[in-house]
Chain A
Amino acid sequence: MKGLLKKDCTLLKSVALPIIAIMVMLAVAGVVEYIDVIYTLILWSLIIITAIFNQDRFYRMDEFVSSIPDGKTKSVKSKYVLAVMLVLGLSLVSLIVAGIYTRVHVNFDYRFIPVTILATMAFAFLGFALFLPLTYRVGILKTSFLSGLWSVAGMLFLFISSESEIIKLLGNYTWNTLYLSCGLMIFASLCILYVSYILSIKWYLKRER
């Protein structure tokens, strides 16, 4: 699995430059509008995985992984590990953005930060839990559309949502309730991600080019 993960990371390097450029722009924008940007940043993880799947398709990796011992299982595992790494990595970026944001906007309640980051992480895991098995079932060509739709939804959210309204909405709950909800969301999303991993392996083993 490690070998295929290294391969994915190398492929990531080759597609990363435009993605990083957009992420930096978003991070800069995040200093102005914090919550929307965290949401959108994490959505980018799905776009990155889509790019890697497309590279795999281009290099006919399906056939290569089928020719090595346990190749398909290792390939699925590497994609899930990469997905989790991306979500954690982008969450770290979000945390840095949040740090800068609280410095710029002194009135901002820093207790929102873990809530927003955990909630968006849970949504990102759910996104992968849906996207990855579907990709192994029907192929990346068909699911690229789904990830496109997902990111368009994210961008729309960025434009139409109002940070103050979200903060007002969250403000109706106690901090303890919010933290507990977020913890449960993360736990549930990780459970669903695990089930989707099992499904992905099952479907990928059945699938042929």
Chain B
Amino acid sequence: MNNIIEIKGLSKKYKNGFQFGKVDLNVQAGRILGVIGEDGAGKTTLFKCLLNILHKDSGTVNIFGKDALEYDSEVKEDIGVVMDDVFVPDVLNPKEVDSMMGSLYRNWDSRVYFDYLNKFNIPLDKKILTLSAGSLKKFQIATALSHHPKILLLDEPTNGLDPIVKNEVLRIFSDFINKDKDNTIIVSSNITSELESLCDDIVLIDKGSIVLNGEMDDILENYGIVSFDEKDFDKVDKKDYLTYMVDNGKYHVLVANKKDFKKKYKKNNIVDVNLEELMILMVKGVK
């Protein structure tokens, strides 16, 4: 499969000392990549570096096979963005946004835009600031989709949505992926259960570095948690687990290969791990 995004050696240092990267990451066309991590881990930095909102200190970002900096304008024509702090002023109304975006994107499609607004029941003449949190999010998604992007960058796209709307929005993302085999989504969210069912691949960012990167199904199939008491835990070779956490005297150990671990330690109590547990153990666990 071809890579639609290739990131090599990307790094960014903030004035407050926070260091992002160096990060290497490939995103395959036609896939949904989930980005998880604590608040402040570097998820938004990754998004903003992809869009050149932040200037990287080193590394290269290629999107559609082109250098994202050199071909900035061309590349952005095909990227739809849903980020809380990257949007039009809320004193505008949807009609004004249509006329504004129409002159900013070559492929802006007013028909698609108004179809989405109609579908989402968003009033055309009311200022954006009067929209509820859910309607605002839907409005952002409609705006991001109306210039026929090939990549969607979604930062917490379902935050604040009720379950019905959330379901509707997730369906729109699925439709987007199914519409063209090269359409790709990169989505960050704190609702890990949602990502489990939505994403093909997952990346975990911790303190500015990628600590886990792989196919969702592989990870959920192979990773597991084993619990030990202190005496048994001491017998486990450090090389055979990734991290552990102690809770009520029990050692909960994260292993990367359930089958191998089971074979070696003859343990039958290896349980499947979900994305939330995986994230907690990878970020907060002892290595």
Residues of A within 8 A of B (CB): 1-4, 6-7, 10-11, 14, 55, 59-61, 63-64, 66-71, 74, 208-209
B106 touches A63 (CB 8 A): no
The CA-CA distance from A141 to B92 in the complex, in Å, is 24
Once A59-B89, A59-B90, A63-B53 are accepted as A-B contacts, the answer to whether A10 and B96 lie under 8 Å apart by CB is: yes
CB distance from B88 to the nearest CB of A (A): 6
Interchain residue pairs with CB less than 8 A apart (16): A1-B103, A2-B103, A3-B102, A4-B104, A6-B96, A6-B103, A7-B100, A59-B88, A59-B90, A67-B51, A67-B81, A69-B73, A69-B77, A70-B72, A74-B104, A208-B55
The CA-CA distance from A59 to B92 in the complex, in Å, is 11
CB distance from B78 to the nearest CB of A (A): 9
Tell me what chain B mostly uses at the interface: helix, strand, loop, or mixed. loop
Taking CB atoms and an 8 Å cut-off, the chain B residues in 103-143 that contact chain A are 103-106
Once A2-B103, A64-B87 are accepted as A-B contacts, the answer to whether A7 and B92 lie under 8 Å apart by CB is: yes
The CA-CA distance from A7 to B87 in the complex, in Å, is 12
Q: Which residues of A contact B52 (CB under 8 A)?
A: 66
B96 touches A60 (CB 8 A): no
B89 touches A11 (CB 8 A): yes
Interface 0/1 of B76-104, CB less than 8 Å to A: 11010101011111111000100111111
B89 touches A6 (CB 8 A): no
Q: Which residues of B contact A63 (CB under 8 A)?
A: 48, 53, 83, 85-86
Q: Which residues of B contact A55 (CB under 8 A)?
A: 89
Q: Assess whether B277 is interfacial by the CB under 8 Å rule.
A: no
Q: Assess whether B272 is interfacial by the CB under 8 Å rule.
A: no
A66 touches B53 (CB 8 A): yes
With CB as the reference atom, state the residue of chain B lying closest to A74. Answer: B104
The CA-CA distance from A204 to B103 in the complex, in Å, is 21
| A-B contact sample (8 more), CB < 8 A, given A10-B91, A60-B86, A68-B104 | A2-B103, A63-B85, A66-B52, A67-B86, A69-B74, A69-B106, A74-B104, A209-B54
Q: Which residues of A contact B83 (CB under 8 A)?
A: 63, 67
The CA-CA distance from A70 to B71 in the complex, in Å, is 10
Q: Which residues of A contact B74 (CB under 8 A)?
A: 69
CB distance from B126 to the nearest CB of A (A): 14
Q: Which residues of A contact B48 (CB under 8 A)?
A: 63
Taking CB atoms and an 8 Å cut-off, the chain B residues in 146-195 that contact chain A are none
Once A63-B53, A64-B88 are accepted as A-B contacts, the answer to whether A70 and B73 lie under 8 Å apart by CB is: yes
The CA-CA distance from A3 to B101 in the complex, in Å, is 6
The CA-CA distance from A192 to B55 in the complex, in Å, is 29
Q: Which residues of A contact B77 (CB under 8 A)?
A: 69
Q: Which residues of A contact B99 (CB under 8 A)?
A: 3, 6
